[in-house]
Amino acid sequence: MKAQLLTMATPDGPFTIIARDGVVLASGWTADTGQLTGQIHPELLPETYDTVDDLGPISAAVEAFYAGDPAPAMGVPVLQKSGPFRSHAWDVLRTVGPGAPVTYTEYAELSGNAKAVRAAASACALNAAALFVPCHRVVRTDGTLGGFRWGLRVKESLLARERESLTAHARPTDSLPAERQIAQVR
C-alpha cells in the first residue's frame, strides 16, 4: 500500500503529513518521517511513500489553520486504529472547539467514562494525527499545558493562535453573557 508524504513549512516548524487517498494516517511538527511512521497502526502502515508538493484539501486545511481559520482541519478525514475507547476518544477530540480547551478530566467525561482520565490522556499521547485530531486542546485541571509530543512551545502556539482566531472573528455580541445575546436577537 502506497501513501503520500508532504512536509509543509509552518510558523511552528516543519509539519509533515502522511496520507493515503486523501485520508491522514499521521501528522506532526517534524521533518523526520520516522517520528510519524512509528505512530501508525501496523495494519495501516504504508509499504512505500511518494513525496508530493500538495495534498489538496489536507494542505489547504493546514494553510487555513495558520491563516486564522481552524475549522477546515476538523473536516479532513483521518484514519487511526485502536480499541473502542481510544477510537471513540479520538472522535470526541474532533468536537472540542478551538479556543475552548478542556481538561483531561472533562475529556474523559466527554469520552463517556469520567473515571478514565488516564485512558483519555493516553488517547492524546497516542494520537497520530496531530492538528486534525486536536489533542493540543486538552490541558491539565489547573490550566497548565500538560504534555504534547511536539513540544509545549508548539502546543502553546496552537492554543494562542486559536484564541486569536476567535477574537479576530468574534461578533460584538460574542463577549456578552448568553442572556444579553438572546435579548439582542429578540
Does the active-site annotation cover 135? yes
**Among residues 19, 26, 135, 139, which one is catalytic?**
135
Contact indicator for 55, 36 with CB cutoff of 8 Å: no
Contacts of 129 (CB under 8 A, 6+ apart): 24, 25, 26, 27, 78, 80, 90
C-alpha cell at 77: 478525514
Q: Which of left, alpha, beta for 174 (phi over 0: left; psi -120 to 50: alpha)?
A: alpha
Task: In whole angstroms, give the CA distance from residue 75 to residue 84.
Answer: 22
Which is nearest to 6 in space by CA: 64, 52, 59, 66?
Answer: 52
Task: In whole angstroms, give the CA distance from residue 98 to residue 159.
Answer: 8
Which is nearest to 148 in space by CA: 122, 125, 121, 128?
Answer: 125
Active-site positions? 135
